[in-house]
Amino acid sequence: MEIIRTPVEMTIWANRTLAAGQTIGLVPTMGFFHEGHLRLMRKAGEKAERTVVSLFVNPIQFGANEDLGRYPRDFARDCQLAEGEGMDVLFAPEVQTMYPAEASTRVIVSGLTDGLCGASRPGHFAGVTTVVAKLFHIIKPHCAVFGRKDFQQLAVIARMVADLNWDVEIIGHPIVREADGLAMSSRNVYLSVPERQAALCLFRAIGHARRRVRTGLVEAKVLLLEVEELLLQEAVTIEYVSLVDQTTLQPQAVLRKGAVLAMAVNVGATRLIDNDNLFEEN
């Protein structure tokens, strides 16, 4: 596996690969890999002849009081894991090469970024779309794989790609969970043992919502109240619980195909998100 540190070198590699007639698959990440990341890498390997995993803790998607400084990092371990998955390149640029001092451009997707995580994290999605746009320009992938745990992010990136006529296939990979149901996340490492147990309320809420939908419940407000009550049985603070359309992200009053239960809670000092498309088969 080759480790590339600068955008210029990365683009040289991409141009050489494209000239050879080979396809490129990209997995954008912020590192500290877990099994969820490895599944994304495997999917990229299935879809493309050459694969790149980017590792970049993107400062412009963090708010002033968020965890940029303490975000978990282990570069040596990440390199070992990526190589074990057969990645051709680990692209790990420094901040100054991605955002030179004179940089003044942001890529903004409006509308889809207003609610859910966007409501409490102003500027977050502009940071996400800007860095992903830069990665697409630098690496020139034919496809890019993202996890569905970041449900809103996936919808926003798909919208950006469609609006800007990018010839990139956006692949959403199902959420990868621990044996007890907790969605895998690099931030899970922050959780104490009691907090880790409390966080399982997210998965229990998904199970409850699925059961209620199967029994014929269609009133979103009823299900939202039940989910909130279930979450608050644990020591968590609810940021939002929403039932939205999978494409428009607009709230649903009447549950129908494409309804997604999206949740964000704080467990101690750790912010966790989870979601489920209630009408999809697991």
The number of CA neighbours under 13 Å toward the Cβ of 188 is 20
Residues with Cβ within 8 Å of residue 21, at least 6 apart in sequence? none
**Structural tokens at position 41:** 């890498």
Provide the terminal-to-terminal Cα distance of the chain, rounded to the nearest Å: 34
User: How many other C-beta atoms lie within 10 A of the C-beta of residue 75?
Assistant: 13
Residue 4: name the closest of 114, 138, 164, 130 by CA: 138
Catalytic residue among 37, 124, 173, 208: 37
**Structural tokens at position 11:** 């683009």
Instruction: Tell me, yes or no, if 124 is annotated catalytic.
Output: no
Alpha helices in the chain (DSSP H): 7-19, 35-47, 75-84, 95-98, 117-120, 124-139, 151-163, 193-198, 201-214, 220-231
Residue 145: name the closest of 169, 178, 120 by CA: 169
Residues labelled catalytic: 37
